[in-house]
Chains A and B, each alone.
Chain A
Amino acid sequence: MTQLVSPSEVAFLLQGVAHNLRSDGRSRTQLRPVVVETGLVSQANGSSRLRRGNTDVLVGVKLSVGVPDLAAPNTGRVEVAVECAPSASPLFEGRGAREVNAGLAAAAASYLAAPGALDLEALCIRPDTHCWVVHVDAVVLDSGGNVLDAVCAAARAALANTTLPRVSTVPSETPGEFDLEVSDDPDDVIALDVSRLPVSVTLARLGDFYVADPTLEEEACQTAAFTVGVTADGTLSGATLSGDGGIPPAMLIEMFQVARKLGMALVADMNDLGEQEAKLDRDVVGFLG
């Protein structure tokens, strides 16, 4: 996004990429370390905060009961909203933020709400009348580049942290209508299945090379960016190209392969850490950390 860089900085950065040594010491295909913490918003059904370099994203998942779409009466749905805090970047101030927010939300939804990502039929409570609507609300607290990937990864962690109350429908006193009956046991919940949920992997083209997980400075120098969703088993989805420039076909094929490898490793890492965190017996650190 718009970050001023001088021509000399661009040259320095591009040469670093050519040397396979980026300004923060990473190689071209290395991701920044991710710090995730889940369950820190007690009011939400699921939440996570993810930091990746300077990028800082907080995601809350809220569940509500809605009416299924007419076209798909047996399924629930996922709705994604992204809000960039104006304090994160001057770009997020005033009216300009709306465009950025809408763009990020649409991009994130294309991975999170894609068919097959979540088991939408499991979100159905009673066909035609009741279903779960999963609201994924992300707040971008700080922007250090590659916001989309951070939003998707944070959303994945938040959804993994989300549990559905066990709910059944009983006929209401009014004929033809139904009431919801929630299980008495608060621990009687169903965890959302995120095993097929993708994370997005963005590769930015810089000169004759491409880099994974670009920083703000690298984004300012990129000619094009390529994003693809990757699931745990390596299924690719929703490849998009952004930016003014193009990507040569040979490079694109290589990018698919690299993104697939990186994405699978990232999902495995995040699953690992999810398990590790579940075992940790500690207080939520949250924003006091």
Chain B
Amino acid sequence: MSKTSRLALPAYASSTQTTRTVDTRVVVPGEVILPHDGFLRGHGTYPKDGMLCATVAGMVTQVNKLISVVPLKSRFVARIGDVVVGRIVEVAHKRWKVDVQSQQDAVLMLSSINIPGSTQRRRSAADELLMRSFFAEGDLISAEVQSLYADGGCSLATRSSKYGKLVDGLLVAVNPSLMKRTASHFHSFPCGIDAIFGFNGYIWLTPSPPEAEGDDVASASATGAIPSSMNDVSTAAADTGPPFKSVPLDARKAIVRLRNAIVALDSVFIAIYADSVWEAYQASLELELDLPDMLHASNMEAVTARVREVHDEAMAAAVVPGVEAGPSSA
């Protein structure tokens, strides 16, 4: 059913209301935050006529005397240890350039990957020639941020069996500022789908690997285990890449439903992590929504309504240090 809708998307006003409950102040560019006297100006602010004003739309945060505005929407700002999902955009001298929705492309050094089928050794000139057979342009990888550069760039590493090339799945791109830092960014949903919540706003969905090796059908009960097949770089050794494993229709339906739940959360501006996605997924099942209908503006509201409630309660309960003594009360 392709019913068109002329309803405008939900206004951000509702989300600003919720943030007010934790005494956080939302400002728009040019808005006066507070008198400059006695405060230091941080990111997202500028002084004007003795007042501090906002340069971006976002939330005011205060650390002692430092006032800054954290933008509501921004590119990914890397921190060491972040799990990211990225796309190779360029093969360069001894390194790959990786798109991670950051202000610049991240760098993946040849020395920061596990070379297929070998133990630790120095990278040789032959390895440089083979770089495209490890990762070629367009390939998706999971990695972690290894170090940051002074200019805002970052370098990645895949030197762990957890990381590597991603195959047989679907990428969802969301606003990076909605991603939530959690204990583990690898998650297995009970519907038989594994997800990697890249902190950079790229989310990878793939069927959980079958428990029995060599079985093509993803078992719906597979849980927990880190998917080994997709992260094993050794499978990438062949020039053609690993053969595509067929994704059965049931698994595909679950992937698409999760994907649409994530898109719905993204469009109504709710934090995206395993619990919120699962909540939205369940809500869409309870509402008996067809997969494509989940993306209608009114349905996206319905699907995410309960997540918002839970989220608001959690936000109200959590007393965030630093935010509590927000400048709005100063």
Q: Tell me the A residues contacting B by CB distance below 8 Å.
A: 4-9, 11-12, 15-16, 19, 21-27, 30-37, 53, 265, 269-270, 272-273, 276-277, 280, 285, 288-289
A23 engages B170 (CB within 8 Å): yes
B87 engages A35 (CB within 8 Å): no
The chain B residue with its CB closest to the CB of A35 is B5
CB distance from A5 to the nearest CB of B (A): 5
B168 within 8 A of A: yes
The chain A residue with its CB closest to the CB of B206 is A12
Q: Which of B4, B9, B247, B260 contacts A24 (CB 8 A)?
A: B260
B217 within 8 A of A: no
Chain A residues with CB below 8 A from B5, complex form: 33-35, 273
Q: How far is the CA of A265 from the CA of B4 in the complex (A)?
A: 11
Q: Which of B4, B99, B260, B263 contacts A33 (CB 8 A)?
A: B4
Q: How far is the CA of A26 from the CA of B170 in the complex (A)?
A: 15
CB distance from B167 to the nearest CB of A (A): 4
From B30-38, B151-159, B293-301, give the one contacting chain A.
B293-301
Q: Which of A22, A30, A277 contacts B2 (CB 8 A)?
A: A30
Chain B residues with CB below 8 A from A11, complex form: 168, 244
B252 engages A4 (CB within 8 Å): no
B290 within 8 A of A: yes
The chain B residue with its CB closest to the CB of A288 is B11
- Once A6-B140, A12-B244 are accepted as A-B contacts, the answer to whether A289 and B9 lie under 8 Å apart by CB is yes
* Residue among B6, B138, B167, B297 facing the most chain A CB atoms (10 A cut-off): B6
B246 engages A15 (CB within 8 Å): yes
Q: Tell me the B residues contacting A by CB distance below 8 Å.
A: 2-9, 11, 87-89, 99, 136-140, 166-171, 240-242, 244, 246-247, 249, 252-253, 256-257, 259-260, 263, 290-292, 294-297
What 14 new A-B contacts, CB under 8 Å, besides A8-B166, A23-B256, A36-B6?
Answer: A7-B138, A8-B242, A11-B168, A15-B252, A21-B249, A25-B257, A25-B260, A32-B2, A33-B3, A33-B295, A35-B6, A36-B4, A37-B8, A285-B11
- Once A4-B138, A6-B140 are accepted as A-B contacts, the answer to whether A12 and B168 lie under 8 Å apart by CB is yes
Q: How far is the CA of A273 from the CA of B6 in the complex (A)?
A: 7
- Once A11-B244, A34-B4, A273-B6 are accepted as A-B contacts, the answer to whether A4 and B295 lie under 8 Å apart by CB is no
- Once A19-B249, A33-B3, A289-B9 are accepted as A-B contacts, the answer to whether A7 and B241 lie under 8 Å apart by CB is yes
A33 engages B6 (CB within 8 Å): no
A25 engages B8 (CB within 8 Å): no
Q: How far is the CA of A289 from the CA of B290 in the complex (A)?
A: 26
The chain B residue with its CB closest to the CB of A269 is B4
Q: How far is the CA of A8 from the CA of B252 in the complex (A)?
A: 15
Q: How far is the CA of A21 from the CA of B4 in the complex (A)?
A: 20
The chain B residue with its CB closest to the CB of A3 is B138
Q: How far is the CA of A285 from the CA of B297 in the complex (A)?
A: 15
Chain B residues with CB below 8 A from A27, complex form: 292
Q: How far is the CA of A246 from the CA of B48 in the complex (A)?
A: 61
Chain B residues with CB below 8 A from A272, complex form: 4
CB distance from A272 to the nearest CB of B (A): 8
Q: How far is the CA of A168 from the CA of B87 in the complex (A)?
A: 61
A12 engages B169 (CB within 8 Å): yes
B4 engages A4 (CB within 8 Å): no
Q: Which of B3, B140, B247, B294 contacts A269 (CB 8 A)?
A: B3
Chain B residues with CB below 8 A from A22, complex form: 256
Chain A residues with CB below 8 A from B263, complex form: 24
B3 engages A37 (CB within 8 Å): no
B6 engages A37 (CB within 8 Å): yes
Q: Which of B4, B240, B246, B291 contacts A273 (CB 8 A)?
A: B4
Q: How far is the CA of A265 from the CA of B99 in the complex (A)?
A: 39
- Once A4-B138, A35-B5 are accepted as A-B contacts, the answer to whether A24 and B292 lie under 8 Å apart by CB is yes
Q: How far is the CA of A199 from the CA of B89 in the complex (A)?
A: 36
B2 engages A24 (CB within 8 Å): no
B171 engages A9 (CB within 8 Å): yes
A15 engages B171 (CB within 8 Å): no
What are some 24 contacts across the A-B interface (CB < 8 A)? Answer: A4-B87, A4-B89, A4-B99, A4-B137, A6-B87, A6-B139, A8-B244, A16-B247, A19-B249, A21-B253, A24-B259, A24-B292, A24-B295, A25-B291, A27-B292, A30-B292, A33-B5, A35-B297, A37-B6, A37-B8, A273-B5, A273-B6, A285-B8, A289-B11
A35 engages B167 (CB within 8 Å): no
The chain A residue with its CB closest to the CB of B171 is A9
CB distance from B75 to the nearest CB of A (A): 13
- Once A19-B249, A32-B295, A289-B9 are accepted as A-B contacts, the answer to whether A25 and B4 lie under 8 Å apart by CB is no
Q: How far is the CA of A62 from the CA of B180 in the complex (A)?
A: 46
Chain B residues with CB below 8 A from A273, complex form: 4-6
CB distance from B19 to the nearest CB of A (A): 18
Chain B residues with CB below 8 A from A276, complex form: 6
Chain B residues with CB below 8 A from A53, complex form: 295
Q: Which of B168, B169, B256, B297 contacts A21 (CB 8 A)?
A: B256
CB distance from A28 to the nearest CB of B (A): 12
B6 engages A8 (CB within 8 Å): no
B244 engages A24 (CB within 8 Å): no
Q: Which of B8, B99, B171, B256 contacts A35 (CB 8 A)?
A: B8
Q: What are the nearest 4 A-B pairs in CB distance?
A: A25-B291, A289-B8, A11-B244, A8-B167
